[in-house]
Structure 1
């Protein structure tokens, strides 16, 4: 993977994105244009922390299409620890591109979800959380913002203005007596959760159905908050063993990853065998691959390695 090249005239050295397969011309030709409506909204967010027995890396990067058209990054993430460092709570959101204020929905959903889940975990084990009320709280917050700021009268009007997918995870920061770390995952829309097994084959195990896998015609349609589904909320429970990593991602990475068996899966599995340096992780999330230009957001949760050396 290359990180340095020359600009388009072939003379001046420049830093170029990491390429996986064919990068495409846009990866280096696009000139980033800021969105003057939201000057406070940064193009890249990145963080790294150790919580109990796990390392956490998170990065969100404005996609090439948004850089080109001068539109704001619509992805968002929030990661927190419970006060006792027993649980990691993570939320990712991918604002629906057609909504002019969907980045606000993404911010509201990730921050509110982590706050609500942290309060729940002070009273309940994750297995006992009632997710229906949690999702309805998120929908209420988005709906309330749309009504107060933009005059939306109902869920449909709110969702036109600001809507977002959501992926929520509660992960044990310490292994149990068997050496397993349990994770509870809930998803609204096409933001996806994976188990990365650096020492196994296949390396990538999806915790949900893979988007458009084996579909004759790819679709971009997805569920989105504030239109949360009625009825019971499916909760995925995963037990992570050994060096297995929980990786949460928006479809900006999920789409090129596919089912995990191609170039993107192989490259990221190699890069993320152990927790990367935070800035390297952001660069890896922002890899260049032809025709994939959406916002990119990934949260990875690794067991603390025996050595901090990468």
Structure 2
């Protein structure tokens, strides 16, 4: 008998609990789901496009814009995610985004582009319009105010660039009639919608002026206070009995000249440009998707990675590529 504890010497005692260990990591990755995700969200096996190894499945960015005193004037988040349909069939992501600040730091140019799915090389048109297009606009803004931009001339210039890129591409692919092909024949192989926004980073009465120009069905929205989505163009298929998938895309030019829209975005709000892969499930912004996005985008997501996870939410029957660029103004003292 152990006279100290009152237990027999041969008694088996339970082991003392080990001290709690500190795990040197935390967090988890879990896909976002809005409503019924459908079976494809969990069953799709992503397959690469064997003809486009350099085209990434998902691209993303998350940056802060600074003023001369190193204070923040805004936050930008961007992501382009290959849709479930393209992942399942091993076809390339056809969406693209672009953004850049003018050399003087006064304006921010944003763009999203959506390659027409019937064109095998439409992703090249989208990349040209989003990347080269924002560069051209930034250069134009060095000597032109946003209100004075000659949008019709710029759109014709962009259409010509897509056509020229298409002719070179098709000639390199062995198409004997590439030089004499009509613009419509070129568009059968590569065409894209595009949406541009120019943000004045110098606020007036606390709000930033924004000019938006759309070619096609990508949409621009301002998420206002209280979670209200304000469309800057007519909502696609709103009130239509039959939904239409027809779209106007460059290098084909519309018979009417493009008309820019002017709006503002202030701290506590966010300007979002999106392709119809998000715009279609968002609809008029009052449904489940609108409530989900207004909740997670009320403030800038912590990173581009988090923003991309939001963009890639699962919802039944919506399997198109998804691309969005958001700008959150920051209040200055």
Same fold (TM over 0.5): yes
Task: Give the Å deviation of 1:119.
Answer: 1.2
Matched ranges for 1:78-93 at <5 A:
78-93=98-113
> Is 2:281 the counterpart of 1:256?
yes
Match of 2:270 in 1: 245
Match for 2:293 among 262, 268, 278?
268
> Is 2:317 the counterpart of 1:297?
no
Is residue 33–residue 68 contact of structure 1 (8 Å, CA) maintained in 2? yes
Partner of 2:192: helix, strand, or coil? Answer: coil
Match for 1:108 among 117, 128, 135?
128
CA RMSD of aligned residues (A): 1.4
Is residue 183–residue 240 contact of structure 1 (8 Å, CA) maintained in 2? yes
Match of 1:174 in 2: 202
Instruction: Point out the structure with max Rg over C-alpha.
Output: 2
- What is the CA–CA distance in structure 2 between the aligned matches of 1:41 and 1:241, rounded to whole Å? 35
Task: Give the Å deviation of 1:218.
Answer: 0.5
Cα deviation, 1:196-226, whole Å, max 9, x if unaligned, reads 01x326x101000000111000111110000
Match for 1:212 among 234, 237, 240?
237
> Is 2:259 the counterpart of 1:234?
yes
**Count of residue pairs the alignment pairs up:** 290
Match of 1:288 in 2: 314
Cα deviation, 1:77-117, whole Å, max 9, x if unaligned, reads 01101112211101110000000000000011112211110
Structure 1 unaligned segments of length 5 or more: list them. Answer: 1-13
Is residue 51–residue 85 contact of structure 1 (8 Å, CA) maintained in 2? no
Task: Give the Å deviation of 1:51.
Answer: 2.0
Judged with a 3 Å threshold, the aligned counterparts in structure 2 of structure 1 residues 44 and 305 are, in CA distance, closer, same or farther, namely farther
- What is the CA–CA distance in structure 1 between the aligned matches of 2:29 and 2:141, rounded to whole Å? 44
Partner of 1:165: helix, strand, or coil? Answer: strand
Is residue 168–residue 186 contact of structure 1 (8 Å, CA) maintained in 2? yes
TM-score by length of 2: 0.85
Partner of 2:325: helix, strand, or coil? Answer: strand
Is residue 113–residue 134 contact of structure 1 (8 Å, CA) maintained in 2? no
> Is 2:43 the counterpart of 1:29?
yes
Match of 1:157 in 2: 185
Greater mean alpha carbon deviation, residues 92-101 or residues 146-155: 146-155
Task: Give the Å deviation of 1:70.
Answer: 0.2
Could you list the structure 1 runs, at least 4 aligned residues long, displaced by more than 4 angstroms after superposition: none
Cα deviation, 1:138-173, whole Å, max 9, x if unaligned, reads 111110111112044121011100000000010112
Is residue 89–residue 118 contact of structure 1 (8 Å, CA) maintained in 2? yes
Match of 2:219 in 1: 192
